[in-house]
Amino acid sequence: MIITVASFKGGVGKTTTAIHLAAFLQGQGRTLLVDADPNRSALGWASRGELPFEVMDEWAAGQKVDARVNVVIDTQARPIAEDLSALAATCDLLVLPTTPDILALDALVLTIEYLKAIRSPHYRILITSIPPKPSKAGEEVKALLQEANLPVFEQGIRRFAAFQKAALQGLPVYSVKDPRAEAGWQDYENVGQEILDIMAARAFDAPSQGMSDRGDFF
């Protein structure tokens, strides 16, 4: 299975999402994280500590990937919807992390128009860095996206300092000493489970159109 993590904008939690989805998938089977962002943030994360899966750049990945492994690809921000449509065509699922604030602003209508222009059913929006109550930003943005008939993960990712500690220490969030570390990991576990459910439902609906052809990808 190939999962690509992308967005229109930087700083929305792509790398944090790629790391934790790879950690989840590693629990299912061998998983590689491909750092295709020239900033190499995921490789930096790996170099500071220890992760339960291999992280490599896109050049090294070509030799390592075969049909048995799960691949999570972290990318740089993409400015336009056409690029995201092209990315969606080369993976099994495109995950688009989005913080509730950018959508809450004037950019909301424009963002929704961009998202509607993605000509692929194989993507899903993940709301990240959701502020704690009494803020309702997370729920409000989810409702707006759903009203616009855009695909959104049921589970969002809450804003916890534990995620910043994880990045600094080079660890998955569950290995960080922090009272909210477990809650942060649970959010990503639930998203990982949604991804497995999506793949299972798709395999059931269209058994002949299995996973994407890895041979063409790298």
Ligand X SMILES: Nc1ncnc2c1ncn2[C@@H]1O[C@H](COP(=O)(O)OP(=O)(O)O)[C@@H](O)[C@H]1O
CB 87, min distance to ligand X, A: 14
CB 204, min distance to Mg ion, A: 33
By beta-carbon proximity to ligand X, the closer residue of 128 and 215 is: 128
206 three-state secondary structure: coil
Residue 16 interface partner, choices Mg ion, ligand X, none, CB cut-off 5-8 Å depending on type: ligand X
* Buried b or exposed e, range 99-110, using 16+ CB within 10 angstroms: bbebbeeeeeee
The correct pick among 41, 98, 111, 128 for binding Mg ion (CB under 5 A) is: 41
Burial (0-12, 13-18, 19+ Cβ within 10 Å), 131? middle
Gyration radius from the chain CA atoms: 16
CB 18, min distance to Mg ion, A: 8
CB 1, min distance to ligand X, A: 21
Bridge partners, 73 (sequence order): 4, 34
Cα–Cα distance for residue pair 1/159, rounded to 1 Å: 28
CB 52, min distance to Mg ion, A: 19
24 binds ligand X (CB under 6 A): no
Segment 28-57, which members bind ligand X (CB under 6 A)? 41
Segment 125-184, which members bind ligand X (CB under 6 A)? 128-129, 157, 159-160, 163-164, 167
- List the structure tokens of 128: 């990240």
14 binds ligand X (CB under 6 A): yes
Interface characters, 86-115, with Mg ion (x: CB under 5 A): ------------------------------
CA 78, 81, 86, 90 torsion-angle sign: positive
4 binds ligand X (CB under 6 A): no
> Which amino acid would we find at residue 159?
R
